[in-house]
Amino acid sequence: MMIIDTLLLVFFIYLAFATVYLLIFAFSGLFPLKRKINIAQKKRKIAVLIPGYKEDSVILEVASNALKQEYNKNYYDIIIIADGFKKETIEALHKLDVIVFEVSLKFSTKSRALNAALRQLNEGYDIGVILDADNIMAPDFLKKINSAFCNEYVAVQGHRIAKNMDTPFAILDAISEEMNNHIFRKGHRILGLSSALIGSAMAFDFQYLKQTMQEVEVVGGFDKELEVILLSQNKKVEYLPDAFVYDEKVPNAKVFTKQRRRWLSAQIHYFGKSFIPALKMLFKTGNIDYFNKALQFILPPRIMLITVSFLMAMLNLFFNLYPGFHLWIAIFILGLLVFLLSIPGYFYNVRTLWAITRLPLGIVMIFFSLLKIKGGNKEYLHTKHTYNAFQIKHPLRKPKRTAGDNHK
C-alpha cells in the first residue's frame, strides 16, 4: 500500500501542478494586453508563404483572398508552395498575381516545403509570414504584422481563429484553439512571457526564418522546433490578439483524435529534448521563457485533466485512496474554472451544448490514442480541406464586406 500511496501522491502533484499552472495564465488572460502602439514609419516587404499538399479544392480561393490585403501590393508577395497539385490548379494559379513554386517531395512535410521555397527566394524580404493552405487572412492582417515589427521582434504570432463551426467536433476544436489563445498566448504575454507558436498565422524576421529553418527537419511539430530555438536564444515571441487568420477546424472524431495524438507525441518528444537544456539555462542565464516552454510540454490535455481528477474523486467515495476525496475534487473544480475563464462568451450557446454531447466520445478516443502515442509526431497527417472561406459567419469576423465575400 505504501508504494501505491506514493504513486498516487506523485500523480496528484502532477495534476495539481498542471491545474494551477493553467489557472494562473487563464486568470491573467482576462486582463487587457497593453502594448506600445507604433505608427509604422516603414513598410516592410513581406513574403507570405503558403505550403500545400494536394490542396486543389481550396488553394485558388485562399490565393485570391490573400491578394485583398489592406497593404500596398508592391510590399508583399503571395508564394504558393505546391506539392502534388493538379496541372489545371497550377495553371489557374499562374493566372493570379502570385508566385508559384512547384515541389515534388519524396516525403512531404511542411518544413521541407518551406525550406524548398526559402532556398529559391532572394534577400529582398523583411518579414516571412507562414500560413496553412486553408487559411484566410483578415484584410488588415499584414498591416498589423508590419506595425508589430516596429518593436524589433523577430517572431510574431497572429490570432488564429475558426472559420467553420458546422459540426460538433469543429466547435470543440474551435473552443480548444481559443483556450490556447487565451492561456498560452495572451495570458503569457500579459505576464511578460513569450506567446506560444501555433504552426500558421506566424511571422518572422525573414533572414532569421531563412537561416533557422535550415535547422528544422521534422515531420510534425515544426512550430515547436522553431519555438525551442527562439526561446533558447532568449528571443521573445509577440502575440497580436486582433490580427486574425481564419482556419478550418476538424470535421469529425477520427481527425480530431489523430491530430491530438500527434500533438501529444510531439509534446513528449520536445519535453525530453528540451527539459535538461532549459533547466541548465534557467540557472546559468535566468532564461525563464525557455524553461517555461519545457514545462508546457509535459502538461496533459485539459479535458483529460478534469476527467481524470473527477474519476479519482468518485473512486474516493468507494475506496479510501490517497490523498483523499476533498483534494481530488478541488483539482476538478479548479480545472473547470480554467475552462470557464478561458472560453470566450460567444461559445455559451445551444450549438456548444450540441457539441458537448460528442465530448464523451472524444475523451474515450483520446484515451485510446494515448496507447498508440509512440512515434505519433513522425506520422504525416494530411487533413483534406473543403470549406468555402466565407461559408459561416464567425462571431469575431468584422461585418465589413470585402471583395469576394458573398455571404449575406
Nearest residue to 62 via CA among 36, 37, 46, 81? 81
Statement: residue 392 has pLDDT above 70:
no
- Residue 100's pLDDT is 96
| 82-to-137, 213, 407 alpha-carbon distances in Å | 19, 18, 29
Question: Which residue ranges make up each domain of the chain?
Answer: 2-30+264-378, 46-250
Nearest residue to 391 via CA among 200, 248, 245? 248
pLDDT tier at 34 (50, 70, 90 boundaries)? confident
Question: What percentage of the chain exceeds 70 in pLDDT?
Answer: 88
Nearest residue to 300 via CA among 248, 373, 407? 373
Query: What single-letter amino acid sits at 209?
Result: L
Statement: residue 38 has pLDDT above 50:
yes
CA distance 60 to 57: 8
- Residue 270's pLDDT is 86
Statement: residue 219 has pLDDT above 80:
no
CATH for 46-250 is: 3.90.550.10
- Residue 75's pLDDT is 96
Question: Which residues, other chains included, contact 93 with Cβ-Cβ below 8 Å and sequence gap of 6+?
Answer: 59, 60, 63, 80, 82, 85, 100
User: Which residues does residue 205 pair with via DSSP β-bridges, in sequence order?
Assistant: 127
pLDDT tens readout for residues 47-105: 999 999 888 889 999 999 999 999 999 999 999 999 989 999 999 999 999 999 998 87
Q: Of 104-118, 194-208, 388-402, where does mean pLDDT reach its minimum? A: 388-402
- Residue 381's pLDDT is 54
